[in-house]
Chains A and B, each alone.
Chain A
Amino acid sequence: MPKVVSIHSYRGGTGKSNFTANLATTLAMQGHRVGVVDTDVPSPGIHNIFSLEPEQAPVTLNSYLWGEAAIEEAAYDVGGAAGIAAAGRLFLVPSSVKADDIARVLKDGYDVKLLNDGFRKLVKALELDYLFIDTHPGLSKETFLSIAISHVLILILRPDKQDYQGTAVTIDIARQLNVRKMLLAINKAYSSLNFDVLKQKVEETYGAPVAGIFPLSEEVVQLASEGVFCTKFPDHPVSQEFSKVAAHITAEG
């Protein structure tokens, strides 16, 4: 059975896209067939991490939502760019970065039913084992949908009051939507913090497991979203933490 993994956070800049790209790449490296959809239509970004230039990707998620293309036509093999030797394992469906396209979606909205159907078509057409959904921060219809359909919801938070509060709201909603499995990931943690204590505190507060804690890393900042961190620095502690989170996802039947 294919699995859908949504990555979400209440606030922006928490590291969702970076996290999604690294986790997807980690699983693809293990031999799984993985797809990533950038549903952050108002502020797309993950294509940068996969070095997919807008000129190389004329067909996007927007094209699908407007009925101009099949969703699989908007899927690009980004395995090579992500540093995976084997082709045909890692695909990205990007969102359009054209101002007009973004404006059109913001103005007219789109049918979430169509988005849901698109996810399913993509999984079938590319025979995916895992579908990752990178999301726009905050709460919206699209967020609700990705929460409702995912097998695993990963909520990313930073050790910050605003993130804590927003995460509580999101968790409440996710539970009301009968989320199947929810994992927390803490990102950008200062190295001076005691990670074990932090993990325990967060788990107690939210009643959900923390799958990984990622330090605020100068190397990640330096890479500046130009490439997938875990294949560039496979032995780095950050990359090893991604492997740990990946194990959480593949473990369940």
Chain B
Amino acid sequence: MSKGDFSALASSIQAVASPFRQYLNDLHERYQGALDGAVADYIPELALADPNWFGICVVTKGGQVFEVGDCDKLFTIQSISKAFVYGLALEDHGRDYVNSKVSVEPTGEAFNAIVLDEATNRPYNPMVNAGAIATADLIKGDSATERLKRMLAMFKRYTGRDLDVNVPVFLSEKATGYRNRAIAYLMLNFGMVTDRVDETLDLYFQQCSIMVNAKDLAMMAATLANGGINPVTGERALDEHYVQDVISVMLTCGMYDYSGEWVYRVGLPAKSGVGGGITALAPGKLGIGTFSPPLDAKGNSYRGIKVCEDLSRDFGLHLFNVAKASHDLDDWLTGSGADSW
């Protein structure tokens, strides 16, 4: 056994024995039986989800991966895609231009509201459907295929693996997306999007239909937490200058019209999707990915919120926390000092 073999084995054993893994196990056990909320059913593909599916994954800045429950189960990314596509738009055009097309103002309106800022005609922020469609419009590429490929390549840099679009979900979203079509044409009317509206709508429906798992969501969040570099592959996914832009809108607008209370209670930049996923991060520390299909009245994963609340409280992850947390993150990750028995 060479030194390298030994340290690889030792670190894998330490991950198994880590008190933090145990903490996540307990968290999973605590909420597995919580069956509040309802699975999204506006398209048949989502209604098929089993309410019992439940995965929690945490990836640290150092690339340690902790998984409990259904972390490999694939589901559609839905609105979570919006935050990351916003990052790509920033890379494509820079901050000023993107700001001129999409504002960064939280809105108390529902995510699918047909409202634009009255003075500027800009959609309120990139996390509501209007803003996300305007953002998708900004993605560069000579053809629909190239734009989609660029998006998928971007997601691959975050997750470290190839992702696919779920075609039946895409077609369902497209077939029933009247409201989004209306929003897009309203924005075209105001000159806020280019006239390739149908192509952009397809791109938007496709970006929402990308299949991910809880581990991907944790890896994506950890990549942002790590300054835009995937902590496992070492590959850069987002220009470091735009990391703060993306996580700012996640913080203020990421959890639909629960965002204000979310900042107050949890205080982590996050984005949820109606597929049951949540991606959340503690900048400079770790990324969290949760998957549990039942949604609360605001459209956020019920168990996912519980998990993030507990993690934030117990480890003092709230961005504005200045008090000593009951659990020291480093101690729990390394096993030194922490006792999870």
Q: Please encode chain A, from 99 to 114, with 1 for each CB lying within 8 Å of some chain B CB and 0 for all others.
A: 0000000000000110
In the bound complex, CA of A144 to CA of B12 (Å):
10
Q: Are A148 and B335 in contact (CB under 8 A)?
A: yes
In the complex, chain A residues whose CB is within 8 Å of the CB of B341: 1-4, 120, 123, 151
B335, chain A: closest CB distance, angstroms: 6
Q: Are B16 and A177 in contact (CB under 8 A)?
A: no
Enumerate B303-341 residues with CB–CB distance to A below 8 Å.
Answer: 334-336, 339, 341
Q: Are B10 and A176 in contact (CB under 8 A)?
A: yes
In the bound complex, CA of A2 to CA of B16 (Å):
19
In the complex, chain A residues whose CB is within 8 Å of the CB of B339: 1, 151
A43, chain B: closest CB distance, angstroms: 22
Given A1-B339, A4-B341, A123-B341: A145 and B13 interface contact (C-beta under 8 Å)? yes
Chain A interface secondary structure, helix, strand, loop or mixed?
helix
B7, chain A: closest CB distance, angstroms: 8
B330, chain A: closest CB distance, angstroms: 12
In the complex, chain A residues whose CB is within 8 Å of the CB of B144: none
The residue in A1, A117, A144 that gathers the most chain B C-beta atoms within 10 A of its C-beta is A144
Enumerate B13-29 residues with CB–CB distance to A below 8 Å.
Answer: 13-14, 16-17, 22, 25
In the complex, chain B residues whose CB is within 8 Å of the CB of A3: 341
In the complex, chain A residues whose CB is within 8 Å of the CB of B6: 173, 176
A222 within 8 A of B: no
Q: Are A113 and B16 in contact (CB under 8 A)?
A: yes
B9 within 8 A of A: yes
Q: Are A117 and B25 in contact (CB under 8 A)?
A: yes
Partner of B336, one of A4, A117, A141, A178: A178
A149 within 8 A of B: yes
Q: Are A145 and B17 in contact (CB under 8 A)?
A: yes
Q: Are B13 and A178 in contact (CB under 8 A)?
A: no
In the complex, chain B residues whose CB is within 8 Å of the CB of A2: 341
Partner of A141, one of B13, B14, B334: B13
A165 within 8 A of B: no
The residue in A4, A117, A148 that gathers the most chain B C-beta atoms within 10 A of its C-beta is A148
Determine the residue in chain B with the shortest Cβ distance to A116: B16
Q: Are A141 and B22 in contact (CB under 8 A)?
A: no
Q: Are B335 and A112 in contact (CB under 8 A)?
A: no
Q: Please encode chain A, from 1 to 39, with 1 for each CB lying within 8 Å of some chain B CB and 0 for all others.
A: 111100000000000000000000000000000000000
Partner of B335, one of A4, A123, A173, A178: A178
Q: Are A177 and B13 in contact (CB under 8 A)?
A: yes
Enumerate A42-68 residues with CB–CB distance to B below 8 Å.
Answer: none
Count of A interface residues, CB-CB < 8 Å: 20
In the bound complex, CA of A177 to CA of B13 (Å):
9
In the bound complex, CA of A214 to CA of B14 (Å):
33
In the bound complex, CA of A117 to CA of B25 (Å):
9
In the complex, chain B residues whose CB is within 8 Å of the CB of A151: 339, 341
Partner of B22, one of A4, A112, A120, A144: A120
A210, chain B: closest CB distance, angstroms: 25
In the complex, chain A residues whose CB is within 8 Å of the CB of B14: 148, 177-178
Determine the residue in chain A with the shortest Cβ distance to B14: A148
Determine the residue in chain A with the shortest Cβ distance to B1: A139
Q: Are A112 and B334 in contact (CB under 8 A)?
A: no
In the bound complex, CA of A151 to CA of B340 (Å):
11
Q: Are A149 and B17 in contact (CB under 8 A)?
A: yes
In the complex, chain A residues whose CB is within 8 Å of the CB of B334: 178
In the complex, chain B residues whose CB is within 8 Å of the CB of A113: 16
Q: Are A148 and B13 in contact (CB under 8 A)?
A: yes
Partner of B13, one of A112, A120, A123: A112
In the complex, chain A residues whose CB is within 8 Å of the CB of B13: 112, 141, 144-145, 148, 177
In the bound complex, CA of A177 to CA of B18 (Å):
11
In the complex, chain A residues whose CB is within 8 Å of the CB of B335: 148, 178
Spell out B's residues near A (CB within 8 Å): 6-7, 9-10, 13-14, 16-17, 22, 25, 334-336, 339, 341
8 further contact pairs, Cβ within 8 A, besides A148-B14, A178-B336: A112-B16, A117-B25, A120-B22, A148-B13, A148-B16, A151-B339, A173-B6, A178-B335
18 residue pairs A–B, Cβ–Cβ below 8 Å:
A1-B339, A120-B22, A120-B25, A120-B341, A141-B9, A144-B9, A144-B13, A145-B13, A145-B16, A145-B17, A148-B13, A148-B17, A151-B339, A151-B341, A173-B6, A173-B10, A178-B14, A178-B334
